[in-house]
Structures are given as structure tokens and as C-alpha cells.
Structure 1
Amino acid sequence: TRKMDKSTILQKSIDFLCKHNEISAQSESSEIRQDWKPPFLSNEEFTQLMLEALDGFFIAIMTDGNIIYVSESVTSLLEHLPSDLQDQNLLNFLPLNEHSEVYKALSKHPSDPESLGPEYLKTKNQLEFCCHVLRGTIDPKEPAVYERVKFIGNFKSLNDVPNTTRNGLAGVLQRSLQPAFDDLVCFVATVRLAKPQFIKEMCTVAEPNEEFTSRHSLEWKFLFLDHRAPPIIGYLPFEVLGTSGYDYYHVDDLGTLAKCHEHLMQYGKGKSCYYRFLTKGQQWIWLQTRHYITYHQWNSRPEFIVCTHTVVSYAEVRAEQRRELGIIEEPPPEVTVDKQSQDSGSDSQLNTVSSLKEALERFDRSHTPSSTSLSSHKTSSQLSDNTCTSTASKLHMDMATPPHQSHVASTIEMTSQRRSSISSQSMSSQTTGHSVTPVHPVIQQHQQQEPVLEFSAQVNAMQHLKDQLEQRTRMIQANIQRQQDELRAIQDQLHRVQ
């Protein structure tokens, strides 16, 4: 790499400092400066803590009631996933007697961003109203249950939002809604529950598939908790040791968990259902456990149970429960585009399909005689299966004529046959081409080169497979010889003991 001169280094340093100052100014303009915000917390962390403390969530609604954004905290409060509410109308989740009131409250404000002047922002921008919102359920056929909530927010336009916030909001909005949102006004509000929830589900998982291990006695008391558990469940090891695991389970999950534990005691290992575990912060977190029983080394008695707990999201739990009920979830709505882009997309799609068909036809023509490759794949699979068999079956194999050598011999024989057939086919095709009709020299040359390329590619593939088979045969023979030597040594020791 070429070393930069002093002027280039100075110019890059100036550009970096200007960019850094610009970003710092934008972040400081949107920073909360009130005394009640701790300085060591960022805006995002402070907002999340406030939402958890107030039992609320964020929502962005257009003036016609269309929901364009919902924060993830709605799941723990109303049991709705954000995807269930986005691109839906708010009136669909309200009782019929509240439709007109809420619609009037949203639509009486201007939908033109230019009409939101300074005087309007100071006097009539804020809006507060109370209503009942439908709670989510696993089975849509269950009776509707509504939760009383309070909306507190302001009407905003994306033109007045700082660039940093604009970029983040554009990332969460659907692509079909972004052009419309640039030209319209939306209502950004905080939704709070009228009746607080002291214990709620922690449905949002920061890192999915997080797991930790624990050991339990046969009475299901904690004996061990590894270091990965405190960041997930909040408890330190000494806080749970000696306590029963059933003390932390949800009452609705006790029956299914008891059946899983009976299955574990009967078969020695198993996998639990999805269940809720109470964390130290008084939140329900969804877990799934794989467990097995370990036995004493000398008397073979059950000693303790080893559990591996995996964190799962509420979306996975709901999908599994709906599958058990036989409910098929509807796919997400398709994004609407204009006719011109749709026509161009369909044309490009047809071109792509046609090109794929041509490629597949060429692939089929070049790989039609694949009996040798299929037999070699079967041979390799048989070799891998033979390596996974027990020691006793390996000891009884005949060392003189191992089956893998026969597979290699058959593969080599089929390869030679294939070579002769390909050469005969190429010669016959060339003779027929000269005798029937005159062919263009370029096409004739292309037709003559195709069998040669196919032949060389197949020869290289067969040679590679042959080398792999021979290498695996040598490894298996060495493994069998080593195990036979170990068996002889064990037999000698048994004779000495007797």
C-alpha cells in the first residue's frame, strides 16, 4: 500500500472532525436535558425504562387511523406482536361504540404538514383520549377482551424530525408506507394501561436462543446454576440453591410440566414444553428445557438431573400453540407497488425464470449420465454409516475382503464403462452430424468441444471420489486393526485375572 502524504492525512483528519461535530450536534439537539434524566443513560435506555415503569408502549398512527409503528413492549402488555398491529387500522381493535369518537379525535387535525405552524404546535398539537383496545389471544375464536388505555401524544411530520431519528424511523417503517409518510402527518403517542400489571411477560428477547444450564435433584430442587443464568433470570446461584423449581413456574404451566417430568423419570431424557419462568424482576420469561438423568458411576443409581434451558420468544410460543390448535396463521400482507414497477418486475421475473430454465437444461444435459456419481454418493454414505456402527460390529468384519474395496472397484469399473460410452456417443454424434446435414463450422466446433468438456469434468469428479473412498477405506481398516489390538489386550488381562 502507498503511504499517504501529510496533506492527505491532514485533509482526512479535517473531514473526520467535521463529520464528528455534525453528528454530535444532531444528537445533542434531540437529547433530553431535563434534570430528572440521569446523565449516564442514553435516550433509548431511559425511554425503555420509562415505558416499563409506566406500563406503556409507543405507537405512531396516521390521521385516518392506520398504524405505521408499534414498539415491542406492546407484546408484554396486550399480547399483540408488533407485526399484528402494523399496517392495520386502529379502529379494528376498538369496540364499535368508540369508533366515531376516536376517528373524530384523529381526523380533526390537519393532514397537511405545511399547516402545522408554530402557533398550532404550541396550542392544539397535543391530544389525549381514553379508549379500550382488544387484547391478543392464542385462539381467535375466544371471546374478545378489551383493556382500557390512555393515549397521550402529539401530531408530527417527518420533515420536522432530526436526521438521526428520521433514519431510525425509516428503518422500522414498511417500504410501502415511507413515501406516504413523507407527505402526511402522524400521531405519535405513548399508550398507558389504566390498570397496571405488577407481573407481566417479558416477551421481547434481546438475543434469541440464549441458554444456561442447571442441575436438579430427583425432587426437582436446584443443586447448581451456571454463570450464564444471572443475566437471563436475575437470580444468583446462592439465591436458588435448595429451592424447588416449581416455585418459579407459572400456575397455568404446572400440569404440562409435571407430565414432562414424568416422561423424564420414565425414559431418562426428554424435552419440555414451552413454559413461563418468573425472573427476579417479577417478569415471566418463556423457556424450553432439554434434560437428562445422570447415574452414579459404580452403583448405576440415578444421581441428579442436568437441564439446559433455552430462551424463546413469544412469537415462537404463539406459533407453536396455534399449530397445536390447528390454526393456520395468515401470511403477511403483500406490499403494493405502482403498475409500472410491477410490470418491470414481472418482466424481470420472466427473464430470470427463462434464464434459470436454460441453465437447468444445460445442467441436465451435462449431468444426465450420473449413475456413477450416484453410486459413489451411495458408497460414501455407506462408508459414513459404517464408521458410526458399534465396536462389536466392526470387530466381526473380515479383514481380508473389506466391503469398501468392492465399492471402490465397482466405482472404478463403472467409471471406465462410462468413459467408453461417452467416447462412443461423441464419435457417433460427430459421424451423424457430417452425414446428414451440413452444419455451421462454429456450431460444429461447439458441439465437438461439449463432449470433451463433459468428459474431462466427469473424469476429474470420479478421480476425486475415488481418492476419497480409498482414504476412508484406509482409515476404517486402521481403526479396525486398532480395536482388534485393544480387544486382544483386554482378553489377555482377563486370562491373567482368571
Structure 2
Amino acid sequence: MDHCKSETCQCGISSAASLNHSEIERRRRNKMTQYITELSDMVPTCSALARKPDKLTILRMAVSHMKSMRGTGNTSTDGAYKPSFLTEQELKHLILEAADGFLFVVAAETGRVIYVSDSVTPVLNHPQSEWFGSTLYEQVHPDDVDKLREQLSTSENSMTGRILDLKTGTVKKEGQQSSMRMCMGSRRSFICRMRCGSAPLDHISLNRLSNMRKRYRNGLGPSKEGEAQYSVVHCTGYIKAWPPAGMTIPEEDTEAGQGGKYCLVAIGRLQVTSSPVSMDMNGLSVPTEFLSRHNSDGVITFVDPRCINVIGYQPQDLLGKDILEFCHPEDQSHLRESFQQVVKLKGQVLSVMYRFRMKNREWMLIRTSSFTFQNPYSDEIEYIICTNTNVNGWKSSPNQLLFPNLTLHLSL
């Protein structure tokens, strides 16, 4: 009797141990599946696939991705490439000089400026010292604060949608990603208006600022007296862990709001805008072109003041009106087609010539070169930018019937 009880007890213990072992194995497999899924989300080549890859494929792609990030040859132990004949300071200077930009680091939680390179002076005419101790929210236009706050956010929900792959230039849909991917190494690319300063510039910095303004046509026109002047800046960078591993933050910096978990490391560069610089509008020569901005339907949302000398209209006479209202009836189909095509071309330049009705009711031959501006984060077209040029000063009366053939010119 006792022997049977003993056997029954042993069987029970064995069964319980077996069940316990199975439960441990099940949990281990679930954990492994969870980690593999997170790894798949972190590797761009995996997340871009239409079908979910198997575990072996995920591991193989993860290894390839880490190798590509680390690079091959001429790399130091931390994976950063630097030619032996350049110091770190010289390399940083060359990179920023080539980019016509400035490097800045801000705390993600507070927006507090942790670092800014001295090249901010020739770009925004700000002394480096003015950025230190301030927040990035103070440096951008008030209307862009919400956009900036969204870009500095490290929460998963705020960034679900589409992401810009800066390596391939494509925008991909992004589903529920792990918080690790959203926070550490997460890419950021956005455009905002940053306040320009009035710092006295040396001769070299002044020449560089002048050249950049000419190249990028970036100024937003002359500001009213007492108002801040802004320039449009394209910021690209990454959200990184802060402070870096092995680095400690002084107590006073922690109290100043620089002790958060993450920071934005980015380069700011002047961005092409649809507005002329002030020197364009103050020049002595009579302008033969003006810039305009339209929505996707062709309605004018902005026009620069040079239109007064070119077509005779005040800017307020054109705002809110369809460009087709000023186009010759015989040319409207061509102009309408050009606006439809430029939306499809996404950033490429399309040119068309047509007759434009001036303020004095005469017709002027205008060449309009247009391209779309796309939000780099959402891939949505925000507006169409047009450069409208008086072709050789050609004018005609409404009764003149002769007109050259219209052609569409595509700049690839």
C-alpha cells in the first residue's frame, strides 16, 4: 500500500516537473520571438519587406545592417572614419563648411541647447554664445514651436505614421515600432523658421553669409521695424541617448534641463524658399521675374512684391485667385496641364510658356518654371513654387493673333 502511494507521489512530482519544464520552454520561446520581432523592427531592410521574414532571415539581415553601419576599412574602433592627416576639429570644420550649415545638440525633453557649433554665426548671424543657455523653442518662429515639439518627442504614438529614409530618399509607412527604435538612433528631418541675429560679422563671415543667401535665396524678405527676421532652415539628424555611455553630467547642467534621457543631434542648413532675398527687391535694375506660391489647384497663396514692376498688379490683387483667371483662354489648357504634371513629378522642375493678362489689360508672354515642395516627413505636397519670367520683354495687344507654339520643358 505504502509502495503504491510512493509510486503515485513520484509520478506526480515527475509530471509537475515536466509541466514546469514545458512552461519554462514556452516562456523562453515567447521571449525569443519577442526579441526577434523587435530586432526586425529595428532593421530597415526587414521592416521594408512586404512579407514578414523568418527568424533566420531577420538575424542575417541584422548582421548585414550592423556591418554596413560600422563600415569596412579605415575605421577606428568606434566605427567613426577620420583621415589620419586631419584633426577632429579640422574634420568637423570641413564637414560643416561643405554643408553650409551648423551643428547643434538639444535636450529632447526641454529643448535646451546643449551644444552649437561656431558656424551658426555665418549661417544665422548669431554669435555662438546667444544659443548657449537658451532653448531651441526660443530660436524658432512661434508658429513652428508645435512642429518642433513633435520632432523632439520620443514617444511612440507621436511618431507613428511615415518616416523618411534619408539613405534612399524614400518615405515608408511605419507601424507600431518598439520604443527602442523610436528613441535611440531615430532619424529626424524637418523644416522650420529660425531667428536671425544682428551680430557684427568679420569680413570672411560676411562674404560667406552673402554667398549663401545668394545661393539659397533664403531670406523671407525685409521685416518690419522691431520685428525679428527669420530664415528657413532644413534640420536633419538623429535622436540619441544622453548622456553618452561613460559620460557624466555636472549637477548644474542637470538642474539647467540638460539631464534628460535623449537629445537631438542635427545639422541645420539654409533651405530654398519661395521668397526673394531683400537684395533682390532693393536692386537698382528693373526686375523681369517674380516668385509665386500656389496650392495644388493653382490658387495663389503668396507672391513677392516684384510682381508690381513685372505685371503691374499689387500682391494683394493676386492672392486667393486662380492663376488661370489671368491666363489667355487659348493657353489655359496648357497651364492647367502643367500644374497637374508638376504635382506628379514631385520636386522636378516643369516649365511652360503662356500669355498673362497684365494690369493694363495687355498680354505678356510669361515663362513659368515650377516645382513642388514636399513635407519631408509626411511626403505630402504642401505647395507649388513658381518662378515667373517676362520672356524677352515681349508684349502684345489682345487683338494680336500670332503666338508661338506652347511647349512643356521638363528639367531632369
Q: TM-score, normalising length from structure 1?
A: 0.27
Q: Which has the higher contact order (CA 8 A, sep 6+)?
A: 2
Q: TM-score, normalising length from structure 2?
A: 0.33
Higher-strand-fraction structure: 2
